[in-house]
Structure 1
Protein backbone atom coordinates (compact mmCIF):
# COMPACT_ATOMS: atom_id res chain seq x y z
CA UNK A 1 0.00 0.00 0.00
CA UNK A 2 1.18 3.50 -0.74
CA UNK A 3 2.47 5.44 2.30
CA UNK A 4 0.46 8.50 1.33
CA UNK A 5 -2.79 6.47 1.34
CA UNK A 6 -1.92 4.99 4.74
CA UNK A 7 -1.27 8.51 6.05
CA UNK A 8 -4.56 9.82 4.70
CA UNK A 9 -6.60 6.91 6.04
CA UNK A 10 -4.79 6.95 9.37
CA UNK A 11 -5.30 10.68 9.72
CA UNK A 12 -8.96 10.16 8.91
CA UNK A 13 -9.29 7.64 11.72
CA UNK A 14 -7.43 9.85 14.15
CA UNK A 15 -9.59 12.82 13.23
CA UNK A 16 -12.82 10.88 13.49
CA UNK A 17 -11.86 9.45 16.84
CA UNK A 18 -10.73 12.70 18.36
CA UNK A 19 -13.79 14.69 17.43
CA UNK A 20 -16.10 16.36 15.04
CA UNK A 21 -18.99 15.21 13.00
CA UNK A 22 -18.41 12.59 10.33
CA UNK A 23 -21.02 13.00 7.65
CA UNK A 24 -22.61 16.08 6.18
CA UNK A 25 -26.26 16.30 5.13
CA UNK A 26 -25.44 15.77 1.46
CA UNK A 27 -23.12 12.78 1.89
CA UNK A 28 -25.55 9.87 1.82
CA UNK A 29 -23.90 7.92 -0.99
CA UNK A 30 -20.27 7.55 0.07
CA UNK A 31 -19.50 7.91 3.79
CA UNK A 32 -15.83 6.91 3.44
CA UNK A 33 -15.19 9.59 0.81
CA UNK A 34 -16.93 12.13 3.02
CA UNK A 35 -14.81 11.05 5.99
CA UNK A 36 -11.64 11.57 3.98
CA UNK A 37 -12.82 15.01 2.87
CA UNK A 38 -13.79 15.83 6.44
CA UNK A 39 -10.41 14.78 7.83
CA UNK A 40 -8.62 16.99 5.36
CA UNK A 41 -10.60 20.01 6.52
CA UNK A 42 -10.37 19.63 10.33
CA UNK A 43 -7.69 20.06 12.95
CA UNK A 44 -7.03 16.82 14.85
CA UNK A 45 -6.65 18.64 18.17
CA UNK A 46 -10.26 18.60 19.35
CA UNK A 47 -12.15 16.27 21.70
CA UNK A 48 -11.01 12.90 23.20
CA UNK A 49 -7.33 12.43 22.35
CA UNK A 50 -6.43 10.79 25.67
CA UNK A 51 -8.80 7.84 25.20
CA UNK A 52 -7.60 7.29 21.66
CA UNK A 53 -3.91 7.57 22.52
CA UNK A 54 -4.30 5.29 25.53
CA UNK A 55 -6.15 2.65 23.51
CA UNK A 56 -3.52 2.92 20.77
CA UNK A 57 -0.69 2.81 23.33
CA UNK A 58 0.86 5.99 21.97
CA UNK A 59 2.30 8.75 24.10
CA UNK A 60 1.37 11.64 21.79
CA UNK A 61 -0.39 12.63 18.61
CA UNK A 62 3.03 13.33 17.12
CA UNK A 63 4.07 9.73 17.72
CA UNK A 64 0.96 8.55 15.85
CA UNK A 65 1.53 11.03 13.05
CA UNK A 66 5.15 9.95 12.64
CA UNK A 67 4.18 6.26 12.54
CA UNK A 68 1.49 6.97 9.95
CA UNK A 69 3.98 8.95 7.92
CA UNK A 70 6.26 5.89 7.95
CA UNK A 71 3.38 3.92 6.41
CA UNK A 72 2.18 2.04 9.48
CA UNK A 73 -1.57 1.50 9.79
CA UNK A 74 -3.17 2.12 13.19
CA UNK A 75 -3.49 -1.64 13.75
CA UNK A 76 0.27 -2.08 13.54
CA UNK A 77 0.89 0.92 15.82
CA UNK A 78 -1.43 -0.63 18.42
CA UNK A 79 0.18 -4.07 18.07
CA UNK A 80 3.68 -2.57 18.36
CA UNK A 81 2.56 -0.98 21.63
CA UNK A 82 1.09 -4.24 22.97
CA UNK A 83 -2.51 -3.09 22.55
CA UNK A 84 -5.57 -5.00 21.38
CA UNK A 85 -6.66 -3.73 17.98
CA UNK A 86 -10.26 -4.77 18.70
CA UNK A 87 -10.39 -2.24 21.54
CA UNK A 88 -9.27 0.49 19.16
CA UNK A 89 -11.96 -0.51 16.65
CA UNK A 90 -14.57 -0.68 19.41
CA UNK A 91 -13.63 2.78 20.70
CA UNK A 92 -13.80 4.40 17.28
CA UNK A 93 -17.03 2.61 16.37
CA UNK A 94 -18.67 3.68 19.63
CA UNK A 95 -17.62 7.32 19.24
CA UNK A 96 -18.84 7.49 15.65
CA UNK A 97 -22.06 5.74 16.61
CA UNK A 98 -22.69 8.39 19.28
CA UNK A 99 -22.13 11.10 16.69
CA UNK A 100 -24.61 9.48 14.33
CA UNK A 101 -27.16 9.10 17.14
CA UNK A 102 -26.79 12.80 18.01
CA UNK A 103 -27.18 13.88 14.39
CA UNK A 104 -30.33 11.77 14.04
CA UNK A 105 -31.73 13.20 17.27
CA UNK A 106 -31.04 16.79 16.10
CA UNK A 107 -32.71 16.09 12.77
CA UNK A 108 -29.60 16.83 10.73
CA UNK A 109 -29.56 13.26 9.40
CA UNK A 110 -32.47 11.40 7.83
CA UNK A 111 -33.46 7.98 9.13
CA UNK A 112 -32.44 6.39 5.82
CA UNK A 113 -28.98 7.99 5.88
CA UNK A 114 -28.59 7.10 9.56
CA UNK A 115 -29.48 3.45 8.98
CA UNK A 116 -27.16 3.17 5.97
CA UNK A 117 -24.21 4.80 7.73
CA UNK A 118 -24.76 2.88 10.96
CA UNK A 119 -24.79 -0.40 9.03
CA UNK A 120 -21.42 0.38 7.42
CA UNK A 121 -19.78 1.98 10.43
CA UNK A 122 -17.79 -0.93 11.86
CA UNK A 123 -16.60 -2.08 8.43
CA UNK A 124 -15.37 1.42 7.58
CA UNK A 125 -13.51 1.69 10.89
CA UNK A 126 -11.95 -1.75 10.47
CA UNK A 127 -10.76 -1.00 6.93
CA UNK A 128 -9.22 2.27 8.01
CA UNK A 129 -7.55 0.84 11.13
CA UNK A 130 -6.00 -2.00 9.15
CA UNK A 131 -5.08 0.30 6.27
CA UNK A 132 -7.07 -1.66 3.71
CA UNK A 133 -7.04 0.01 0.30
CA UNK A 134 -10.43 0.94 -1.12
CA UNK A 135 -11.24 -0.40 -4.58
Structure 2
Protein backbone atom coordinates (compact mmCIF):
# COMPACT_ATOMS: atom_id res chain seq x y z
CA UNK A 1 0.00 0.00 0.00
CA UNK A 2 1.48 3.35 -0.93
CA UNK A 3 1.68 6.23 1.58
CA UNK A 4 -1.24 8.10 0.02
CA UNK A 5 -3.50 5.05 0.40
CA UNK A 6 -2.41 4.70 4.02
CA UNK A 7 -3.28 8.36 4.68
CA UNK A 8 -6.67 8.04 3.02
CA UNK A 9 -7.55 4.81 4.81
CA UNK A 10 -6.36 6.32 8.10
CA UNK A 11 -8.47 9.42 7.50
CA UNK A 12 -11.50 7.26 6.78
CA UNK A 13 -10.84 5.32 9.97
CA UNK A 14 -10.62 8.57 11.96
CA UNK A 15 -13.90 9.86 10.55
CA UNK A 16 -15.60 6.53 11.24
CA UNK A 17 -14.14 6.49 14.76
CA UNK A 18 -15.29 10.05 15.39
CA UNK A 19 -18.76 9.18 14.13
CA UNK A 20 -18.91 6.08 16.32
CA UNK A 21 -17.50 7.99 19.27
CA UNK A 22 -20.16 10.63 18.88
CA UNK A 23 -22.87 8.02 19.18
CA UNK A 24 -23.73 6.94 22.69
CA UNK A 25 -26.78 5.71 24.54
CA UNK A 26 -27.55 9.28 25.50
CA UNK A 27 -27.87 10.44 21.90
CA UNK A 28 -30.95 8.30 21.39
CA UNK A 29 -32.86 11.05 23.17
CA UNK A 30 -32.46 12.98 19.91
CA UNK A 31 -35.72 11.35 18.79
CA UNK A 32 -37.51 13.59 21.29
CA UNK A 33 -36.20 16.71 19.58
CA UNK A 34 -36.76 15.77 15.96
CA UNK A 35 -38.73 12.98 14.32
CA UNK A 36 -36.84 9.97 13.03
CA UNK A 37 -36.46 10.54 9.31
CA UNK A 38 -34.74 7.75 7.45
CA UNK A 39 -34.61 9.90 4.32
CA UNK A 40 -32.28 12.36 6.12
CA UNK A 41 -29.32 9.98 5.74
CA UNK A 42 -30.12 9.55 2.05
CA UNK A 43 -30.31 13.33 1.70
CA UNK A 44 -26.85 13.72 3.31
CA UNK A 45 -25.45 11.10 0.94
CA UNK A 46 -27.03 12.84 -2.05
CA UNK A 47 -25.57 16.17 -0.92
CA UNK A 48 -22.16 14.52 -0.54
CA UNK A 49 -22.35 12.84 -3.96
CA UNK A 50 -23.52 16.06 -5.58
CA UNK A 51 -20.71 18.07 -3.99
CA UNK A 52 -18.18 15.52 -5.26
CA UNK A 53 -19.81 15.03 -8.62
CA UNK A 54 -19.96 11.29 -7.88
CA UNK A 55 -22.86 9.02 -8.68
CA UNK A 56 -22.53 6.44 -5.90
CA UNK A 57 -20.75 5.34 -2.75
CA UNK A 58 -19.01 2.66 -4.80
CA UNK A 59 -17.53 5.24 -7.15
CA UNK A 60 -16.21 7.23 -4.18
CA UNK A 61 -14.89 4.10 -2.46
CA UNK A 62 -13.13 2.88 -5.61
CA UNK A 63 -11.50 6.28 -6.17
CA UNK A 64 -10.34 6.50 -2.54
CA UNK A 65 -9.03 2.94 -2.65
CA UNK A 66 -7.05 3.72 -5.81
CA UNK A 67 -5.27 6.52 -3.98
CA UNK A 68 -7.33 9.57 -4.82
CA UNK A 69 -8.40 12.08 -2.18
CA UNK A 70 -11.85 13.64 -2.01
CA UNK A 71 -10.28 16.78 -3.51
CA UNK A 72 -8.97 14.70 -6.44
CA UNK A 73 -12.42 13.20 -7.02
CA UNK A 74 -14.02 16.65 -6.95
CA UNK A 75 -11.39 18.06 -9.32
CA UNK A 76 -11.90 15.15 -11.74
CA UNK A 77 -15.61 15.99 -11.77
CA UNK A 78 -15.05 19.76 -12.17
CA UNK A 79 -16.25 20.50 -8.64
CA UNK A 80 -14.90 22.84 -5.97
CA UNK A 81 -13.68 21.31 -2.72
CA UNK A 82 -15.06 23.99 -0.40
CA UNK A 83 -18.67 22.69 -0.50
CA UNK A 84 -17.39 19.23 0.50
CA UNK A 85 -15.51 20.68 3.46
CA UNK A 86 -18.48 22.83 4.48
CA UNK A 87 -20.89 19.88 4.25
CA UNK A 88 -18.73 17.58 6.36
CA UNK A 89 -18.04 20.31 8.93
CA UNK A 90 -21.78 21.01 9.19
CA UNK A 91 -22.63 17.33 9.65
CA UNK A 92 -19.98 16.70 12.30
CA UNK A 93 -20.82 19.99 14.03
CA UNK A 94 -24.42 18.85 14.27
CA UNK A 95 -23.30 15.58 15.86
CA UNK A 96 -21.08 17.46 18.32
CA UNK A 97 -23.94 19.79 19.21
CA UNK A 98 -26.21 16.82 19.90
CA UNK A 99 -23.59 15.15 22.09
CA UNK A 100 -23.07 18.36 24.03
CA UNK A 101 -26.80 18.96 24.49
CA UNK A 102 -27.28 15.38 25.68
CA UNK A 103 -24.50 15.81 28.25
CA UNK A 104 -22.29 13.05 26.84
CA UNK A 105 -19.32 15.44 26.47
CA UNK A 106 -18.09 18.27 28.63
CA UNK A 107 -17.91 21.92 27.62
CA UNK A 108 -14.12 21.64 27.32
CA UNK A 109 -14.37 18.58 25.08
CA UNK A 110 -17.02 20.27 22.95
CA UNK A 111 -14.96 23.43 22.48
CA UNK A 112 -11.81 21.43 21.76
CA UNK A 113 -13.47 19.23 19.14
CA UNK A 114 -15.26 22.18 17.59
CA UNK A 115 -12.04 24.20 17.32
CA UNK A 116 -10.16 21.50 15.41
CA UNK A 117 -13.02 20.24 13.28
CA UNK A 118 -12.48 22.41 10.16
CA UNK A 119 -8.72 21.73 10.07
CA UNK A 120 -9.27 17.99 10.49
CA UNK A 121 -11.88 17.85 7.73
CA UNK A 122 -9.81 20.02 5.38
CA UNK A 123 -6.79 17.77 5.83
CA UNK A 124 -8.98 14.73 5.27
CA UNK A 125 -10.46 16.11 2.04
CA UNK A 126 -6.98 16.77 0.65
CA UNK A 127 -5.64 13.41 1.89
CA UNK A 128 -3.09 14.96 4.22
CA UNK A 129 -2.15 13.52 7.63
Q: What is the TM-score normalised by the length of structure 2?
A: 0.74
Q: Where in structure 2 are the equivalents of 1:55-66 lying within 5 Å? A: 55-66=51-62
- Give 2:101's match in structure 1, choosing from 95, 100, 105: 105
Gaps of 5+ in 1: 26-45
Counterpart of 1:4?
A: 6
Alignment coverage as a number of residue pairs: 109
| 1:36 paired residue number | none
Query: Which has the larger Rg?
Result: 2
Measured on the aligned residues, the alpha-carbon RMSD in Å equals 2.3
Name the one with the larger helix percent. 2
Hey, which bits of structure 1, 4+ residues long, moved more than 6 A?
Answer: none
Q: 1:22 to 1:85 in 2, by over 3 A?
A: farther
